[in-house]
Chains A and B, each alone.
Chain A
């Protein structure tokens, strides 16, 4: 047993090393005064100054965050409604069909989703830009939220609702007082999932951006053609630290008062 545990630790260590080494490597070279990702010359903050003084890049970062927050929030609301609808469908066959349709959207390649959105928006006469990016991000996030919320719904004991009904709760009261609080952890999980999907999406966004609107993934990709400038390293480092802060915040919140904030699950 002891041996197994030791091997388990080694395994974990290797996995974490593989995942974090590239990030550490990237962060290390963001302080390189030489212009490239080799030959560390001397320490400099030049690339950070570059990033912070580049207004266009700043706008793009903010765009990315705005799209992520809005699309995740809207997709979560739609996804919860969708999950409830699927849950309340009586016929098993209809239910399976709906779930299958939901899953198809999750497994279909981003490129195809992106290209079809591009066609849709141009046919519908929607100008490419903020709206088109937001709409497509909402669209591809909804199925993920449904998939996060639905298992929790299935897990919910029907007696809980029966009890609430017996005590005289109306439909609305059952929903807002019993079902939604019970679902809260998975709703937040869905929200954060959608947030990360939106933040790192490249393929779909690439097709539907336009008119001066751009997100980070698209911008970094087109900059990388000429070799990745170290200011991209600096920016990535900042973003990494920012997400770390978010994760730590989330952790503290769920530790301190999971119940209070409705996140982090039952204890």
Chain B
């Protein structure tokens, strides 16, 4: 008995000592007091140096928390048990959050740096007058391909993927809207098509793609492509930038039939406590210099037109990641199709995934 008590006393003492250490560390980092801004963002989606600079500049301390999907983030915010001052959802998630009244309207007097944002990235269908959100990053969905493995062949359109010579060479991301969208685009339909006949047609077309598909995977697609496990991958542009940086035999193309244009925007959730700090943080990230630094670190495209001047020429001038949007009028933003239609997309995608090769 005595030994048991001693043993457990030792465990508790160790735990409390560690707790004290953590507390002191937290205080040393400045997380103790009330002067904090909680940022809820995707994993590895900001240059950590910017957080330190923001803290130095404003005196606010940043608690940086991460999520891995829009759905998880929305669930956390809707439950309301935790405080988040700034969050970075994607386009369709923003319109859903607005619908569910999870966001606070922005105060534009506190966001003077908004003037640097390219006007074409504002007033988009998911948040018509940008009452709730301002752009953080944007990008496209496209094809990464390995020139060497394809023997010098280039790829310019979605329809190239159906070429029988590409048997077992294609990796797809595991996203219903992305894959269905690719099939719809290849048929000349809109990404947001809600005509069930068109969707069925797209599904049938996807079925014919199956022999060429090697696997439908998640984030590991980056590693697989960089390691040359497959010659072709359908990915988001930011991931593509990362993969290409790793393996220079790879190239990225936005197919000519059209593709998805997506946005991750900064918002202030209704659970925010420090609204002043949230605006300060958003304004800080809208500053051209900071936006450029962040874009260089993360690899996605910045919507900040002044930031382009601070970016190295080979990044800002890269038409693959900063396509000329005037000529690329075929890029479409996902619309919120509603629960019912989305379920239909998912159903078709699931059927496609389940079929035997």
Interface residues, chain A, with chain B CB atoms under 8 Å away? 35-38, 55-56, 58-59, 62-63, 65-66, 69-70, 72-73, 76-77, 118-119, 121-122, 126-129, 132, 176-177, 180-181, 184, 187-188, 191, 206, 209-212, 214, 219, 221-227, 229, 260-263
Q: What residues on B are CB-neighbors of A70 within 8 Å?
A: 12, 15
- Report the bound CA distance from A212 to B31 in whole Å: 9
Question: Is B226 a contact partner of A36 (Cβ separation < 8 A)?
Answer: yes
Question: Is B219 a contact partner of A63 (Cβ separation < 8 A)?
Answer: no
CB pairs A–B below 8 angstroms (23 shown): A35-B246, A38-B227, A58-B25, A59-B29, A62-B22, A69-B11, A70-B12, A121-B81, A127-B81, A129-B82, A176-B1, A184-B4, A209-B82, A210-B83, A212-B31, A214-B65, A221-B68, A222-B67, A223-B66, A226-B45, A226-B242, A261-B7, A262-B4
Give the shortest distance, in Å, between B103 (CB) and chain A (any CB): 18
Question: Is B29 a contact partner of A219 (Cβ separation < 8 A)?
Answer: no
Question: Is A181 a contact partner of B25 (Cβ separation < 8 A)?
Answer: no
Q: What residues on A are CB-neighbors of B80 within 8 Å?
A: 122
> From B226, which residue of chain A is reached at the shortest CB distance?
A36
Q: What residues on A are CB-neighbors of B31 within 8 Å?
A: 212
Interface SS majority for chain A:
helix
- Report the bound CA distance from A225 to B15 in whole Å: 31
Interface residues, chain B, with chain A CB atoms under 8 Å away? 1, 3-4, 7-8, 11-12, 14-15, 18-19, 21-22, 25-26, 28-29, 31, 36, 38, 42-45, 63-68, 72, 76, 79-83, 219, 222-223, 226-227, 242, 246
Q: What residues on B are CB-neighbors of A260 within 8 Å?
A: 3
Q: What residues on A are CB-neighbors of B7 within 8 Å?
A: 188, 261-263
Q: What residues on A are CB-neighbors of B67 within 8 Å?
A: 222
Question: Is A62 a contact partner of B8 (Cβ separation < 8 A)?
Answer: no
- Report the bound CA distance from A58 to B28 in whole Å: 13
Q: What residues on A are CB-neighbors of B226 within 8 Å?
A: 36, 38
- Report the bound CA distance from A193 to B154 in whole Å: 56
Give the shortest distance, in Å, between A216 (CB) and chain B (any CB): 13
> From B238, which residue of chain A is reached at the shortest CB distance?
A226
> From B64, which residue of chain A is reached at the shortest CB distance?
A56
Question: Is B25 a contact partner of A225 (Cβ separation < 8 A)?
Answer: no
Question: Is A118 a contact partner of B18 (Cβ separation < 8 A)?
Answer: no
What are the 9 closest A-B residue pairs judged by CB atoms, nearest first? Answer: A210-B82, A226-B44, A222-B66, A212-B63, A128-B81, A222-B43, A69-B15, A262-B3, A176-B1
Q: What residues on A are CB-neighbors of B15 within 8 Å?
A: 66, 69-70, 73
Known interface pairs A219-B66, A222-B66, A225-B68; A127-B22 also in contact (CB < 8 Å): no
Q: What residues on B are CB-neighbors of A132 within 8 Å?
A: 81
> From B13, which residue of chain A is reached at the shortest CB distance?
A69
Contact of B44 among A128, A223, A262 (CB under 8 A): A223
Known interface pairs A36-B226, A70-B15; A62-B79 also in contact (CB < 8 Å): no
- Report the bound CA distance from A212 to B62 in whole Å: 9
Give the shortest distance, in Å, between B270 (CB) and chain A (any CB): 14
Give the shortest distance, in Å, between A120 (CB) and chain B (any CB): 10
Question: Is A224 a contact partner of B43 (Cβ separation < 8 A)?
Answer: yes
Contact of A180 among B4, B28, B223, B246 (CB under 8 A): B4
Give the shortest distance, in Å, between A66 (CB) and chain B (any CB): 5
**Beyond known contacts A55-B29, A118-B81: 11 more, CB 8 A cutoff:** A36-B246, A56-B29, A62-B21, A63-B22, A69-B14, A127-B81, A180-B4, A210-B81, A219-B66, A261-B3, A262-B4
Known interface pairs A66-B15, A66-B18; A177-B81 also in contact (CB < 8 Å): no
> From A257, which residue of chain B is reached at the shortest CB distance?
B3
Question: Is A73 a contact partner of B223 (Cβ separation < 8 A)?
Answer: no
Question: Is B66 a contact partner of A127 (Cβ separation < 8 A)?
Answer: no
> From B15, which residue of chain A is reached at the shortest CB distance?
A69
Q: What residues on B are CB-neighbors of A118 within 8 Å?
A: 79, 81
- Report the bound CA distance from A226 to B243 in whole Å: 11
Question: Is B242 a contact partner of A227 (Cβ separation < 8 A)?
Answer: yes
- Report the bound CA distance from A223 to B79 in whole Å: 23
